[in-house]
Structure 1
């Protein structure tokens, strides 16, 4: 009897948590199909204004170009950050020295610095490189993600040193060992890091806000932010459509790679 009561409480709690997690997503979908007035009134059922909201959004903004900007920035950032941070983490873990441990500790301390304090120095640096209003100015600061260095190093701790030694016996150099042996066996960790890096770049707002100055360079986060101040009366229906469109790429990516994401976060190693 006691076990049944505990099971009931457990599943009730899980159902409530699921509802809390799913409800904002449903509200976003329902809002995209309703008028601004209906959303303001708190209507939660699906409406029939989706096509009108979508048409208004497409007429006012070049959505395909803005989506392409976001995808380009996110994909390039994800690929470069995976290469740079994983190689750095592999070096820190497998070629450990006293100096490297000091440098690694300093890098971890940098994680405590709020990103907002770096905005002005980054802006001045990119201005000096003549990269203002260029997507490269957003990509470069995001490549050296300290959290990913930490994440990959923790993953590499479980990588057998015997495999690396075997590669060296066969005459392989460090780069060949990394790309031919390490990378294929750490796919789960790379999948988890790829999702994190992509979502982090896709949702980036503060740096694009100060770097990108023309609409043809905008990302989806800047578009959504601009919709709330585009007129005296906010069009919530159009905003919900834009948010729905912006959510789809990250949602699809996670659904495709969710098994690898879970395996990578739990530190599994697959050959």
Structure 2
């Protein structure tokens, strides 16, 4: 009886969580009038291609997808390298001020992003990087949580393995890229998902530094679809659906590594 009750409870929770996404998929196939009709439409309609066509021809949504893919991919690759390098240094090297520096990194995690918004904007203005890819990519490479995650995960790499590689004559770069990183695949996958999601969903900062529609990322482009007097919710929800699909696919492929990576280093032997 207890087993059936728990199964039913889990099924109910899953249904509650999936229902909004199902409604989103159905809403992409309707016009604005049909979306807000009473009673609501629970079956797909025939307006999906019209919504999609209007989204790409009237609002340059293809450019927004391109910008988000490029910025998120480059930020993720470079961010993984930088955060894992910093985590490796904090976990496996002893140097003066290590504890203090790591404490500063942890303390920076308590700061809301709005605190750094104005300083970052001024830096980008001074560098002449407004409305460019570097303005979106560079501030999101050394993420404090990513450094913390990789530092904790690096403790799982045996020190003896690193010492043996040094005795064999391997350099630090070869040890890091050839020995340490292959062992850290679950943690790297978790970090990659975390960084990709953070960049893909970021809205306030890109809105601050971007100036033209052809440079918009997906969140900014979706916000621009909301008009002052009227909004085409069919196109808006279609764009929202397109923004969710890549993230959903990425998580489905890497969900095991994501969970394993978050748990890495949580239990000391």
Q: With structure 1 as the length reference, what TM-score do the two structures score? A: 0.93
Asked if 1:233 corresponds to 2:230, the answer is yes
Query: Which residue is equivalent to 1:53?
Result: 51
1:255 to 252, 256, 263: 252
Query: Which residue is equivalent to 1:207?
Result: 205
Cα offset, 1:236, TM superposition: 1.0
Counterpart Cα distance in 2 of 1:219 and 1:250: 15
Asked if 1:149 corresponds to 2:139, the answer is no
Counterpart Cα distance in 2 of 1:7 and 1:96: 51
Counterpart Cα distance in 2 of 1:262 and 1:103: 28
Query: Which residue is equivalent to 1:84?
Result: 82
Query: Which residue is equivalent to 2:16?
Result: 20
Counterpart Cα distance in 2 of 1:49 and 1:144: 43
2:116 to 118, 127, 130: 118
Counterpart Cα distance in 1 of 2:8 and 2:116: 44
Asked if 1:44 corresponds to 2:42, the answer is yes
Cα offset, 1:25, TM superposition: 0.9
Q: Map Cα deviations across residues 144-187 of structure 1 (whole Å, 9 max, x no partner).
A: 10000011111111111111011111011222110110011111
Asked if 1:171 corresponds to 2:169, the answer is yes
Query: Which residue is equivalent to 2:3?
Result: 7
Unaligned runs of 5+ in 1: none
Q: Map Cα deviations across residues 176-231 of structure 1 (whole Å, 9 max, x no partner).
A: 110110011111111111111111100010110010000110111111111112x5
Q: Map Cα deviations across residues 43-64 of structure 1 (whole Å, 9 max, x no partner).
A: 3322121111112212212222
Unaligned runs of 5+ in 2: none
Query: Which residue is equivalent to 1:193?
Result: 191
Q: With structure 2 as the length reference, what TM-score do the two structures score? A: 0.94
Counterpart Cα distance in 2 of 1:209 and 1:109: 26
Counterpart Cα distance in 2 of 1:72 and 1:52: 27
Counterpart Cα distance in 1 of 2:35 and 2:94: 57
Cα offset, 1:264, TM superposition: 1.6
Equivalent residue of 1:232, what SS?
A: coil
What number of residue pairs does the alignment pair up?
263
Q: Map Cα deviations across residues 59-84 of structure 1 (whole Å, 9 max, x no partner).
A: 21222222110001000100111011
Equivalent residue of 1:181, what SS?
A: helix
Counterpart Cα distance in 2 of 1:257 and 1:243: 22
Cα offset, 1:263, TM superposition: 2.1
Counterpart Cα distance in 1 of 2:42 and 2:140: 38
